Amino acid sequence: MSEMANTDPEGIDAVRMTWNVWPRTKVEASACVIPLAVSIAPIRSHPDIPTLPYSPLRCKSCSSALNAFARVDFTAKIWICPFCYQRNHFPPHYAMISDTNLPCELYPQYTTVQYSLQANPDPNNPSNVPQLPPVFVFVLDTCMIEEELGFVKSAMKQALGLLPEHALVGFVSFGTQAHAHELGFSDISKVYVFRGDKEISKEQVLEQLGLGSAGRRPTAGYPKGLQNGHSNTGVNRFLLPASDCEYTLNSLLDELQTDQWPVQPGNRASRCTGVALSVATGLLGACMPGTGARIIALVGGPCTEGPGTIVSKDLSEPVRSHKDLDKDAAPYFKKAVRFYDSLAKQLVSQGHVLDLFASALDQVGVAEMKVAVERTGGLVVLAESFGHSVFKGSFRRMFKDGEQSLGLCFNGLLEINCSKDIKIQGVIGPCTSLEKKGPNVSDTVIGEGNTSAWKMCGLDKSTCLTVLFDVSSTERSNAPGTANSQLYLQFLTSYQDPEGKRMLRVTTLTRQWVDSAVSSEELVHGFDQEAAAVVMARVTSLKMEMEDGFDATRWLDRNLIRVCSKFGEYRKDDASSFTLNPCFSLFPQFMFNLRRSQFVQVFNNSPDETAYFRMLLNRENITNAAVMIQPSLISYSFNSLPQPALLDVASISADRILLLDAYFSIVIFHGMTIAQWRNMGYQSQPEHQAFSQLLQAPHVDAQMILQERFPVPRLVVCDQHGSQARFLLAKLNPSATYNNSIDMAAGSDVIFTDDVSLQIFFEHLQKLAVQS
Amino acid sequence: MAAPVPPGAPRPGANARQQSPHPNFNPNFQTNPNSLADNMQNMNLNRPHSMPNSGPRPSPFGQPPPFPQSSVTAGFPVASPPMSRPGPPPGMVGRPAVIPAGPLQSTLPANVPPGRPVGLPVSHPLPFGSRPPPASLSSSTGGAVLPSSAFPSSGVSSASAAPPPPARAPAQAPTMRSVLGSSAVSSPQTPPLPSASSPFPAMTQARPPPPGSPYGPQTWSMQPQQGTQPPHIPGSTHAQPPRMFGMPQQALPNQAMTNIPPALGQPGAPMSGSSKIDPNQIPRPIPNATPIVYETRHGNSANPPPPATSDYIVRDTGNCSPRYMRCTINQIPCTGDLLTTSAMQLALLVQPMALPHPSEDPIQVVDFGESGPVRCSRCKGYINPFMKFIDQGRKFICNLCGFTDDTPRDYHCNLGPDGRRRDADERPELCRGTVEFVASKEYMVRDPMPAVYFFLIDVSMNAVQTGATAAACSAINQVISDLPEGTRTQVGIATFDSTIHFYNLKRALQQPLMLIVPDIQDVYTPLETDVIVQLSECRQHLELLLENIPTMFQTSTTAESCFGAAIKAAFLAMKSIGGKLLVFQSVLPSVGIGALSSREAEGRTNISASEKEAHKLLQPADKILKTMAIEFAEYQVCVDVFVTTQTYVDIASISVIPRTTGGQVYYYYPFSAVSDPAKLYNDLRWNITRPQGFEAVMRVRCSQGIQVQDYSGNFCKRIPTDVDLAGIDCDKCILVTLKHDDKLQDGSECGFQCALLYTTVYGQRRIRVTNLSLPCTNMLSNLFRSADLDTQFTCFLKQAAIEIPTCPLLQVRDHVTNLCINILLSYRKFCATVSSTGQLILPEALKLLPLYTLALIKSRGLRNDGRIDDRSFWFNYVSSLSTPLAIPLVYPRMFAIHNVDTKDGDESVLPPTIPLSSEHVCDDGIYLLENGEDALIYFGSSVDSSILQQLFGFTSVDEVPTQFVMQQFSNPLSKNFNDVVNVIRQQRCSYLRFALCKKGDPSGMAFLSCMVEDKNANGPSYVEFLVHIHRQIQMKMS
């Protein structure tokens, strides 16, 4: 199965697995080298998913939801849970059930169904009854030049116009100090000022904003939560419906100046990002529990003041680099991470999201803030200016409605049920472990583990999680025979959709157990190279972050060699005899590109960029993530349709236009001749309409990608030998370098690098794979 | 006091009964006469053989013991009836008598200008005389001998009865004094003088003797007391003799008894019996009507200044105007021993920015250019008229340290034949006592600061609801236009309740932006720049904001107030520049930094502890505010606090801040939204518009032999020699105590130089140098002759104020009394040895000392009753108080205003003052009593309704409102009344806080408690007090 052919490899379930057939034992599983992992986009929309206006039936023993794989005894009105084999009676309202009258969830094709919990409010959480409007708190940096501030202001105004009318809006600006704007005060613009250099707890924020228990006392007599769907804590002084405060906010933005505190020459502006986020978080803390809220941080530089500081104010001291981190020479890093970690905890406990829009030429501390963004499921966009299309496009996109909507949801809760022999190691992706222990929880932890439930404060339809599994070694002993030939996994994701409705998505999967010792054939055919590559990338990234002195390249190489040794066909010590099953054939190339990618070769990037790339790697679906690892290249030329080209420097040709999609950037690369023609203006001459079309074609395709993708990638249009061409060259296989350039055809190009090319890599791989 | 027994009414009642017995019985009187006869030089009291005080008490006739005070009042009423019999009501009589006397004397005294007291004793007195011309009284005090006859307290009443005598007395006084002066040489002279004096008085008094007294003509002589007294002292006698005449000793008693007691008004009180002094003869201050011209030096020697409370125009002829600096003694004792012997204090009262009289020449500004003013290279004293140029002007000798310096070349000038520089008269620094030098760079650590005004307003629930917030906002709004013009003026504003609200007034904003600082434990300023903005840039915003603030917080339910945090935050905003921080506070600071607890209430619940530790409540609660204050001062932030409250706010703690930063506390209690806003506005306006300076440093230098011992006032002192003043203004006065560290040369002069380096409101750096050079003397009598009563007393007052928070009240009062006694004792012992020990002899210059001392003991700060805050405010107020205002604070002025329309073509708008004795307060009168800060208007119970209508717009005393706003109605009475008030306001530079007092009301009690000459719970009557002093002196002498 070629992934190119299948436009929707994930299907209704939005699931991809590294292995679609599972080895039975732990030993076998570890021999497979590539971990057992499921990548799932828990709320991806799909036209075939039915939405059921009732609550699911839950197994009374393992609380998994009734699903298509349950065995149903229509006469006895009993269903048997496939996970725990518990026999459950159907409740009275299922009395009509029969083999011809099935509820939706029992249709075999509906392995994924969605329940709308709206009609039957959860009795444990009656406050859900009135729909809670979503809350948006903008946290705006003011330490920037007028021009940048102008950009970001206009972006914000635009966003305000796009917000749903009932959405509540809050505003915090910061510079040397953090300003919480009281939007509900009509007489005068009112701002609570928090000093920037002092860590402030949630309680302090609440108290100081007059939202603390003291402030609340006067209204204690009222039943909470009736007005506006909001508790009467006074937080509505700060959070107003967008329709009510749009004018106020607009005029406030008009008057907003850059930070007025003086900056000493030779110093960075003093910027208290940490405190500002604490304040925003604290403010949201006064909201009703269960409110979907997000903090949208617009940051234009590094935090230099108070908690979360990443660098001193002295400009002579550069912001930490990967090298500094490696050498433990980043004095602020750990402290800042600890701070954001605690902020993340607070946000998660409140169920709120932190989105980060960082736009600056230098780093702003994404690496430190990553923990808070990722754990809360926030969005992150890194651009070099608020005037740049990457920021502008992404920011607008975030608030867009309809087709283009990101489908931002809140308060997600993912629970996983699985067959008895399966253990959950953890999840990589934008979520937080809820530390819900259970029999299915593995002792080995990868990512957010130690649990069978995760909180996803923020999630959208493209949010994707990677769940890593392990096979229990005790499985053999009590295998109950054939019944056990299938394994089951069930993902239950409850969340609050953009309209505030409570939804529950249930995806139930089944796969086959296989005894790899018996039949490795099946196992091999169940391998998903793309998914495996992405999972390897994710695991590698995680390990690079978590493990000191982790040598990613070597680790990847070793694993690749092991994979090849296990699944390749060869004669021992005969490299030339080595062949690889087609199911594995692309994998080495993915690994080659992964080794060269920004995820592994971090030294070409700042820690901020690395953090940014990794966050997106972790939250994107397999296809997109694969593009991040191994960009796609399309070639446009006369006389042929656009066609995929080898990701190789050899693909460069003077009369071609190349379109590189490296996910974060899209490069349109004009061959030398094309560029010359274009410069001479042929495209505007009627007789050269074909040329004009050729020029246009990659732009049209690029535009399609730009529109779909979030964050909006950076579009680079360049010519061969131009300075921007480096964006392309960096991604190509250096089959032609200055070392061997003599061999190359004219019009082609060389890459000035000492990196090994794919061919050499393969040669070595074969040699090592066959070694005994 | 008044309450229980309204003057008029009571008579018929029980009182009447009691009274009647009095007059007849007068047992006390009789006893008294026997007991004491004290003659005082001017006031000779016959010694009480028996204890005077004790004497009176024992015979409480009508008065039940429980109400000592009431007894007093009661006394008055009682007195009045008798009075009435004899003739005019006491008050009335008294006054007129006084007036005539005044003029007369004044004429006599031509003395005013008298040269120095060198040879002629007479001359000396003159100056004094001039002062209290009307003061026939004073004279009487000075010289008056009060026989310690039968009429103790009754004396007062007698006064009324025998108004004339007082008049004469004054007349005598001058003479007496003169005598004294001379007497200095030999004490005994006094007696003769009296005789001399007596004639005068007689002359003056020629007018009708007081009522009832048959002795009429001799009225003054009439003093029954003397008669009664067994020992007639010659000196005293002569003054008294007339009285003697009037009152046959024994016979008199009876008569006196009858007549007097009633007159005294204290019939009820046995005390009346105790003293035998004629209350009309005892010294009282007498204001002079027309300003005199005073030259600071005359014939190359210092000219003793006129009393601080008098009206004078200074011509600076070498010494500084006494407004800027005056010494407690106008001659400097050569040795410390001599000073100790005199028991007087040697101190300077320095008021470097004092407001000059409009007719005085302005201070000249001298610019020495880059090099700065010429200074002594050793002591750094500034060039002044007393530096002596020698060697053809090439060198000069410093008058302060004696060092010889070379004259800077470009400052050289030849000497004239008189040894002075030829250009001395052209150079202000060489011929004027006060000049201002333009400061050169070396006097600046930074550019002179702009004028910064930061307003901080309490908007807690209480403040808003009582109208205090609105009042403050409106006052500020009105005052904005009075701020100095120009780009150098910057303003800021903040409000606070449980958080602090700053306002960004930058012009770019459509409306002011409120910046709230919610962390009141650890405050900060919300903006570096735009919180304080040039006035010209934000005027509209500011005005708009001030209009809005009261409504903005109208619905506030925040009861808490974070005063400490708010001023700290405001300070942080101002820190880089400095400036004035004007705080409007309405409730007890309850949260945030420097939060205070309601200590007063806690104290009350634990009474036994509070008795012992009462004064602890007058100390700051903790050190936090003090530490803050010192930091403020360091950064040149001067804090004024306007307390507009209806509750306890712990002024003792709060006041530390203004005190340390050169500011002051304004206290509006209980705040009234009706009557106080006008005063608040006027106070604020004056605060801002009065002459003032910023970032000032002051040092006083003295000639060798004398050194500064200590400074006290509102400032911060970091090093012993200098005083740092974040703000200094024309009202602030600093007490500089001096001590000897060596002997001075008799006949030489001792120089004092006060240098104040400050920045003007308009941003010039200036050094104001004030010089005073006084002769040194070895003669004790000279010291007494040249003692400056007002200054001495102010010095007392300030020292007492300093003691209040640290000592039990009783001790403070004793201390004050002892200070007074010791001085008088010293005089008695060394300068009046000849006179009989039976006489209480007062040095002319200090004759009012006992009266003032008594007033001080009864003043708000030293009384037992009264709220803690009132006392805290009082002693804080005193700490920076100038001499001219210190006196009225303890001894207020009282005027009758029900008849202000009937003034007799006199130039003076002010009606004559009335002695502070309830005896002078009639039932059908309306009186105005002012102390420079408060003004009480007292309504007798039977005031004519048409007068009421004309003055106040209501017709019955019952309609007297609790809150008062001055109004002018279209009738002469009202116009005159308004004129009077305005004159007083001008004189005091204060709008005055009016309170209406009704007889028989607590308000009336408050008024009567100001009658310092009355006996009441807070102390003895004036006469009794004199007796007490006399007895003490006698005891110590023997």
- How many structural domains does chain B have? 4
Q: How confident is the model at residue A28 (pLDDT cuts 50, 70, 90)?
A: confident
Bigger pLDDT: B900 or B751? B751
Residue at B638 is within a domain:
yes
Residues B472 and B567 in one domain: yes
Percent of chain A exceeding pLDDT 90 equals 55
What confidence tens digit (pLDDT) does each residue in A552-568 have? Answer: 999 999 999 999 998 88
Mean pLDDT of chain B: 75
Residue at B468 is within a domain:
yes
Check B513 against A188: CB less than 8 A apart: yes
Q: What pLDDT shows up at residue B632?
A: 95
The whole-angstrom separation of Cα B18 and Cα B2 is 17
Residues B348 and B379 in one domain: no
Pairing status of strand B637-644 against strand B579-585: parallel
Q: How confident is the model at residue B885 (pLDDT cuts 50, 70, 90)?
A: very high
Lowest-confidence segment of A110-124, A588-602, B455-469, B474-488 by average pLDDT: A110-124
Q: What is the ipTM of this complex?
A: 0.84
Bigger pLDDT: A313 or A288? A313
Nearest CA to A673 out of A654, A689, A694 is that of A654
What confidence tens digit (pLDDT) does each residue in B29-68 have? Answer: 333 333 333 333 333 333 334 333 333 333 333 333 333 3
| Contact between B706 and B331 (Cβ < 8 Å) | no
The whole-angstrom separation of Cα A672 and Cα A655 is 7
The whole-angstrom separation of Cα B967 and Cα B951 is 8
Percent of chain B exceeding pLDDT 90 equals 42
Give the CATH number of the domain where residue B521 resides: 3.40.50.410
Residues B774 and B814 in one domain: yes
What confidence tens digit (pLDDT) does each residue in B308-333 have? Answer: 888 899 999 999 999 999 999 999 99
Q: What pLDDT shows up at residue B138?
A: 33
Give the residue numbers spanning the domain of B336.
Answer: 292-355+694-856
Distance from CA of A212 to the nearest CA of B (A): 12
**CA-based Rg of chain A, rounded to a whole angstrom?**
28
Residue at B122 is within a domain:
no
Across the beta sheet with B44-48, the strand order is B44-48, B36-40, B839-840
Report H helices in B897-955.
945-952
Q: How confident is the model at residue A430 (pLDDT cuts 50, 70, 90)?
A: very high
Residues B518 and B593 in one domain: yes
Pick from B510, B514, B552: CB nearest A255: B510
Interface contact B502, partner A, CB < 8 A: yes
Residues B647 and B764 in one domain: no
What confidence tens digit (pLDDT) does each residue in A636-668 have? Answer: 998 888 999 999 888 898 889 999 999 999 999
Q: Which of B461, B493, B498, B513 to mutate to test the interface with A (most CBs of A within 10 A)?
A: B513
Distances (CA, A) of B342 to B169, B783, B814: 27, 8, 19
* pLDDT(B384) > 70: yes
* Tokens found for residue A616: 């997106």
Which residues of B fall within a CB distance of 8 Å from A207?
518
Average pLDDT over every residue of B137-149 = 37
The DSSP result for A289-317, as a single string, is TT--EEEEEEE-S---SSTT--S-SBTTS
Which positions in chain A have a beta carbon within 8 angstroms of at least one beta carbon in chain B? 176-177, 179, 182, 185, 187-195, 198, 200, 204, 207-210, 218, 251, 255, 257, 260-262
Residue at B745 is within a domain:
yes
Give the CATH number of the domain where residue B313 resides: 2.60.40.1670
Residues B710 and B657 in one domain: no
What confidence tens digit (pLDDT) does each residue in B692-709 have? Answer: 999 999 999 999 999 999
Give the CATH number of the domain where residue B385 resides: 2.30.30.380
Interface contact B544, partner A, CB < 8 A: no
- For Cα atoms B760, B762, B767, give the angle at the middle one, nearest 5 degrees: 25
Pick from B522, B526, B552: CB nearest A193: B526
Nearest CA to A718 out of A673, A669, A663, A679 is that of A669
The pTM for the full model equals 0.79
Residue at B673 is within a domain:
yes
Q: How confident is the model at residue B225 (pLDDT cuts 50, 70, 90)?
A: very low
Residues B910 and B931 in one domain: yes
Distance from CA of B732 to the nearest CA of A (A): 37
Pairing status of strand B500-504 against strand B44-48: unpaired
Residues B810 and B915 in one domain: no
Average pLDDT over every residue of B800-806 = 90
Lowest-confidence segment of A590-604, B281-295, B782-796 by average pLDDT: B281-295
| Chain A with chain B: Cβ pairs closer than 8 A | 75
The DSSP result for A160-194, as a single string, is HHHS-TT-EEEEEEESSSEEEEETT--SSEEEEEE
Q: How confident is the model at residue B145 (pLDDT cuts 50, 70, 90)?
A: very low
The position carrying tokens 């080995």 is A444
| Contact between B168 and B205 (Cβ < 8 Å) | yes
How many Cβ atoms from other residues are within 10 Å of residue B426's Cβ?
Answer: 10
Which residues of B fall within a CB distance of 8 Å from A188?
511-514, 545, 548, 552
Lowest-confidence segment of A752-766, B276-290, B979-993 by average pLDDT: B276-290
* pLDDT(B494) > 90: yes
Lowest-confidence segment of A525-539, A736-750, B9-23 by average pLDDT: B9-23
Domain-ending residue, one of B646, B674, B690: B690
Average pLDDT over every residue of A605-621 = 93
Residue at B97 is within a domain:
no
Residues B736 and B825 in one domain: yes
Q: What pLDDT shows up at residue A497?
A: 86
Q: Which of A192, A204, A256 to mutate to test the interface with B (most CBs of B within 10 A)?
A: A192
Domain-ending residue, one of B667, B690, B713: B690
The whole-angstrom separation of Cα A524 and Cα A29 is 13
What confidence tens digit (pLDDT) does each residue in B270-312 have? Answer: 333 344 567 777 888 877 667 889 999 988 889 999 998 888 9
Q: What pLDDT shows up at residue A510?
A: 92
Residue at B718 is within a domain:
yes
Lowest-confidence segment of B416-420, B864-868, B1020-1024 by average pLDDT: B864-868
Residues B622 and B483 in one domain: yes
How many Cβ atoms from other residues are within 10 Å of residue B337's Cβ?
Answer: 11
Check B518 against A255: CB less than 8 A apart: no
Q: Which positions ≥6 away from B842 have C-beta within 8 Å?
A: B40, B41, B42, B43, B141, B142, B283, B824, B827, B849, B850
Distances (CA, A) of B158 to A201, B200, B256: 77, 22, 8
Q: Which positions ≥6 away from B838 have C-beta within 8 Å?
A: B37, B38, B39, B44, B46, B47, B148, B229, B231, B233
Query: Domains (ranges, CATH) in chain A?
Result: 15-116+408-472+485-526 (2.60.40.1670), 135-210+234-398 (3.40.50.410), 631-732 (3.40.20.10)
Q: What pLDDT shows up at residue A218?
A: 38
Which residues of A fall within a CB distance of 8 Å from B512?
188-189
The DSSP result for B724-771, as a single string, is EEEEEETT--EEEEEEESS---TTSEEEEEEEEEEEETTS-EEEEEEE
Check A191 against B524: CB less than 8 A apart: no
* Tokens found for residue A674: 């094309």
Q: Which positions ≥6 away from B307 have C-beta within 8 Å?
A: B131, B788, B789, B790
The whole-angstrom separation of Cα A547 and Cα B334 is 89
Q: What pLDDT shows up at residue A377?
A: 93
Lowest-confidence segment of B214-228, B553-567, B1022-1036 by average pLDDT: B214-228
Report H helices in B198-289.
199-205, 219-222, 224-228, 234-246, 251-264
Residues B686 and B706 in one domain: no
Bigger pLDDT: A404 or A294? A294
The whole-angstrom separation of Cα B950 and Cα A329 is 88
Residues B464 and B597 in one domain: yes
Bigger pLDDT: A748 or B899? B899
What confidence tens digit (pLDDT) does each residue in A713-723 have? Answer: 999 999 998 99
Average pLDDT over every residue of B240-250 = 32
Helices A529-546 and A552-567: crossing angle in degrees, nearest 10, is 150
Residue at B315 is within a domain:
yes
Q: What pLDDT shows up at residue B185?
A: 33
Domain-ending residue, one of B812, B833, B856: B856
| Contact between B71 and B268 (Cβ < 8 Å) | yes
